[in-house]
Structure 1
Amino acid sequence: MKSEKYKFFIIIFLSVLIGISVGLIVSLFHLSINWVVMNKFTLIHTIYPWQNFQYIAYMFSSSIMLFISVYLVKKYAPDAGGSGIQNIEGVVANKITMNDIKIIIVKFFGGVFSLGAGMAMGREGPSVQIGGAVGQMLSRRFSLNRNEINMLVAAGAGAGLATTFNAPLAGILFVFEEMRDEMKYTYVSVQSIVSATVVSIITLHIFIGNNISIPVGNIRLPDVYQFWIFIIFGLFFGVFGFIFNKYLVYFTEKIAQMHGWQFNILILIIGSMVGLLLYFYPNSVGEGYGVIHAAINNELGIEMLFILFTVRFLTTLISYGTGAPGGIFAPMLALGTLFGVLFGILVNISIPSVQIEPLVFAIVGMSAFFSATVRAPLTGIILVAEMTSSFNLLMPLLITSLVATITVNSLGGRAIYTILLEEALKISKFGKNKSEANEEF
């Protein structure tokens, strides 16, 4: 009994320590990305002599930054590429092992360079993997078994997601929903996940503040007799989610097959194109928060909404395919917003009796695209509700996300991180048998 109480105390103590550490590191990660982005623009506009050809400086800087990011991954930590969430799931399931210190360093700096370059990726993937790596790094200093260490890896991952979006409930739900097949939930594991997440959010508020990620103001809830429109809305996102997952894997596989100078040239070309888009059409690349605010503030017309949705769909696939550190949550939220506003405008024009604010479809669209792709609808619903402070839209969120998930399942689609983990194991770079010999606990 004493041993169990002692172990419980150690795990909760470690959970709090993990929460503080993840809150600090992820906060610093966010501040570093913002600093790089701001100073990159300032530097180009201040010292670059040819004002009419500034796009060349954007192309050059983005290509070099992306190249450095990918080089760090390829050279020092191949499993730090992409989102990394699938790798954390593999660790929790005892299918792969992780060099936590390398992951933290490479993911941090690689993520700063890739997101600073303007790639259409998010900071949540790196934050989750960094959080999981911090959980393992701190827990393996104590006499814990593999399952207990995995519990703290999951707790760190949840804290990483929560800190990224200032969304504690979503961080907790993400672990419960996304890792439901990988770990057994007990009273201790639940307390561990909650403790790490809550403490990480407190740490975030101390260092960065408590700001709503996407403030939208007061929103009128649609009439119950208009809920049928959200069923149709969910069908669209089910199809989009199926297509998105299929081609995300396709681009990732195709680019991963390239090696040597061909791969390096392709990375430089992709970086240059991102820089060019960043200069002329900044809303078509980057994490997507700029285009989200533009869309919900009615700054984009119907044609531009359609164009940006199409272009960002493609740039997200290509950006992730490079293997640079970066996630897909934020880009998915941007895509959901763009199509949501477009859908809302067209519905109001086509069916005058259904007058629902396009903003409602934007918020619901974020959750629906996330749910269809990640197959974690509860996480998507709560994440968007926390980010926008729009809990009054829970019914439209539930209906659309449920329909989107059922639709993609009917089409034969699967959760994106399950597919990515299988692909990682298939090429045996992160396979358990190969990496066990290099990892000690």
Structure 2
Amino acid sequence: MKAAGETPSGFADKALYYLAAILVGVATGLIGTALHLAVDRALTWPAVLRAHVGLDGPHFLLLTAAVSAALVLAAVWLVRTFVPEAGGSGVQEVEGAMEGRRTIRWSRVLPVKFVGGLLSLGSGLVLGREGPTIHMGASVAQAAAQGFKLPTMESRGLLAAGAAAGLAAAFSAPLASVLFVIEETRRQFPYSLKTYTGVMIASVVSVVVLELLAGSRPFMAMTVPDLQLSFLPAFVLLGLLLGVAGVVFNRCLIWALDMALALGRRTSFYLLPAVVGCAIGVLLVVQPEATQGGDMLALTLVRENLPLATIAIVVLVRFVMTLASYATGVPGGIFAPILALATALGLLFALCLELVAPLPAGAPSALAVAAMGGLFSSTIRAPLVGVVLIAELTGAYTMLLPTLVTCMLANLVADALGGRPIYEVLLERTLRLAGETPSSARPAANVALPIGGWDQR
């Protein structure tokens, strides 16, 4: 039904755009679900090897190290050879494309991001599947925008819809995905009723496809009891600490990328991925909690009541391996690793509090849930997304107020310390490596690295 005063051509334009958003949601949901299921299956390879080869002890560790390194190197080769911008998360590439400074070469990004993401995530690297699904969703949107011959602003709006659909497919979190566009791409998103509605349509459709194929459930379902308001100061302190942790994480991540780039230029760009792959292959056997994206790890840590020293080791190892994994330049996101690291930090904080005074029942799990939102807020700098994403991921809606307090304070502290959104910093770095200064006065210039070039994410 047409709005009052709307011309037939205006109604047809909206209908066409919404149809494009539906198709983007369907395609992204299918691709994202396929990647999710394929990665889950691929990560069983250590168990398959153990069952079918007659090796044990050091010999088996050498075999898993070799397999993991081979998978990582294959992913690096794909990225370096065919589409350098497919390395890393891809969120900054989407933001750059919405600014008109980057080009999404969808016909190359889609296959390389899927296969490369399957290889890198299947190797056990500490990376998340949301990076590949967001970039692939935007690639689907780019193809649709070209096919429907949409004007520039509507095309950029559809890119945001594809990215939101990709995040929704990764985490089954449609509301957080819509909010992600509002908070994270607020500088680039061409806001209008049409583009905003397109984002909602694509996100909802993507989740519908995901749930039809993979079932309906929170990806990190946790049961957290209600806590008294008198315990709220603990979340205040947690937010303050996570604000500092987020700034440290972001700066260390950029440092790791710079060091990896310098090392690659001096030696070989395949040296670091080979070393990290070998280390991951060993850790998959001897310390599996130090590997993979970490969504299941978060649930395990909350359930197992591990001692303080063990949790501290998990925090340290996850921090180092997240930096090392992302620095390899393979396709993979940082959302999931941040959430797992934050869970461990929240539990570590709870155990430290318990040394001073007894905690109410359920407090450690509550602090772990709030910590996920807090670290997300101080690194990504999207606190509202952090609150809603954690609620949708865990189903712990009783934690809305404590998580909101934690996220708000973490964001404020990060801002006070001069912390910046990690994807904004990554985009500036990408533009600088591509030869364009981030402050350039040419916002409409499309920049893409040459085939075979190297773009450390």
TM-score range, shorter chain: over 0.9
Partner of 1:351: 357
User: Shift of the alpha carbon at 1:63?
Assistant: 0.4
User: Shift of the alpha carbon at 1:231?
Assistant: 1.2
The change in CA–CA distance for 1:190 and 1:281 in structure 2 (over 3 A counts) is same
Contact 2:87 2:331 in 1 (8 A): yes
User: Shift of the alpha carbon at 1:261?
Assistant: 5.2
Which of residues 131, 134, 137 is equivalent to 2:137?
A: 131
Q: After superposition, what is the alpha-carbon deviation per residue over 1:179-202, rounded to whole angstroms, capped at 9, x for unaligned?
A: 111023111011100111111111
The change in CA–CA distance for 1:327 and 1:254 in structure 2 (over 3 A counts) is same
Corresponding position: 1:233 with 2:214: no
Partner of 2:20: 14
Partner of 1:242: 247
User: Shift of the alpha carbon at 1:4?
Assistant: 1.4
User: Shift of the alpha carbon at 1:203?
Assistant: 0.5
User: Shift of the alpha carbon at 1:429?
Assistant: 6.6
Which of residues 370, 395, 400 is equivalent to 2:401?
A: 395
Distance (whole Å) between structure 1 residues aligned to residue 386 and residue 67 of structure 2? 34
User: Shift of the alpha carbon at 1:345?
Assistant: 2.4
Q: After superposition, what is the alpha-carbon deviation per residue over 1:15-58, rounded to whole angstroms, capped at 9, x for unaligned?
A: 101110000000001111112112x1243113322223211111
Which of residues 141, 148, 164 is equivalent to 2:154?
A: 148
Corresponding position: 1:87 with 2:93: yes
Which of residues 378, 385, 392 is equivalent to 1:372?
A: 378
Which of residues 205, 217, 223 is equivalent to 2:211?
A: 205
Contact 1:77 1:106 in 2 (8 A): yes
Q: After superposition, what is the alpha-carbon deviation per residue over 1:361-387, rounded to whole angstroms, capped at 9, x for unaligned?
A: 010000000000000011111010011
Distance (whole Å) between structure 2 residues aligned to residue 132 and residue 177 of structure 1? 17
Partner of 1:362: 368
Partner of 1:326: 332
Distance (whole Å) between structure 2 residues aligned to residue 305 and residue 108 of structure 1? 33
Partner of 2:74: 68
Partner of 1:50: 55
Distance (whole Å) between structure 1 residues aligned to residue 357 and residue 209 of structure 2? 48
The letter of the residue matching 1:252 is L
The alignment-based identity, stated in percent, is: 33
User: Shift of the alpha carbon at 1:160?
Assistant: 0.6
Q: Secondary structure at the match of 1:412?
A: coil
User: Shift of the alpha carbon at 1:177?
Assistant: 0.9
Partner of 1:335: 341
Q: After superposition, what is the alpha-carbon deviation per residue over 1:291-310, rounded to whole angstroms, capped at 9, x for unaligned?
A: 21221103422111000001
Corresponding position: 1:259 with 2:261: no
Distance (whole Å) between structure 2 residues aligned to residue 389 and residue 17 of structure 1? 28
Corresponding position: 1:270 with 2:272: no
Distance (whole Å) between structure 1 residues aligned to residue 271 and residue 64 of structure 2? 17
Contact 2:157 2:195 in 1 (8 A): yes
- With structure 2 as the length reference, what TM-score do the two structures score? 0.92
The letter of the residue matching 1:322 is T
The letter of the residue matching 1:10 is L
- With structure 1 as the length reference, what TM-score do the two structures score? 0.95
Partner of 2:315: 309
Contact 1:255 1:322 in 2 (8 A): yes
Q: After superposition, what is the alpha-carbon deviation per residue over 1:158-214, rounded to whole angstroms, capped at 9, x for unaligned?
A: 011011111111111111111111023111011100111111111011111112111
Contact 1:48 1:57 in 2 (8 A): no
The letter of the residue matching 1:302 is L
User: Shift of the alpha carbon at 1:260?
Assistant: 7.8
The letter of the residue matching 2:259 is K
The change in CA–CA distance for 1:159 and 1:430 in structure 2 (over 3 A counts) is farther
Q: Secondary structure at the match of 2:420?
A: coil
The change in CA–CA distance for 1:437 and 1:269 in structure 2 (over 3 A counts) is closer
Q: Secondary structure at the match of 1:259?
A: helix
* Equivalent runs, 1:75-114 vs 2, <5 Å: 75-114=81-120
The letter of the residue matching 1:400 is T
Q: Secondary structure at the match of 2:268?
A: helix
Distance (whole Å) between structure 1 residues aligned to residue 78 and residue 159 of structure 2? 23
Contact 2:294 2:340 in 1 (8 A): yes
The change in CA–CA distance for 1:226 and 1:105 in structure 2 (over 3 A counts) is same
The letter of the residue matching 1:259 is R
Partner of 2:455: none
Distance (whole Å) between structure 2 residues aligned to residue 265 and residue 229 of structure 1? 44
Greater shift after overlay, 407-416 or 291-300? 291-300
Contact 2:128 2:332 in 1 (8 A): yes
User: Shift of the alpha carbon at 1:437?
Assistant: 11
Q: Secondary structure at the match of 2:43?
A: helix
Distance (whole Å) between structure 2 residues aligned to residue 414 and residue 396 of structure 1? 24
Contact 1:283 1:290 in 2 (8 A): no
Partner of 1:292: 298
Contact 1:347 1:354 in 2 (8 A): no
Contact 1:119 1:286 in 2 (8 A): yes
Contact 1:19 1:195 in 2 (8 A): yes
Contact 2:343 2:371 in 1 (8 A): yes
* Structure 2: segments with no counterpart, 5+ residues: 1-6, 438-444, 452-457
Aligned residues: 436
User: Shift of the alpha carbon at 1:226?
Assistant: 2.0
The letter of the residue matching 2:10 is E
Greater shift after overlay, 136-145 or 369-378? 136-145
Corresponding position: 1:195 with 2:184: no
Greater shift after overlay, 96-105 or 417-426? 96-105
Partner of 2:422: 416
Greater shift after overlay, 143-152 or 67-76? 143-152
Corresponding position: 1:222 with 2:232: no
The letter of the residue matching 1:44 is L
Q: Secondary structure at the match of 1:214?
A: coil
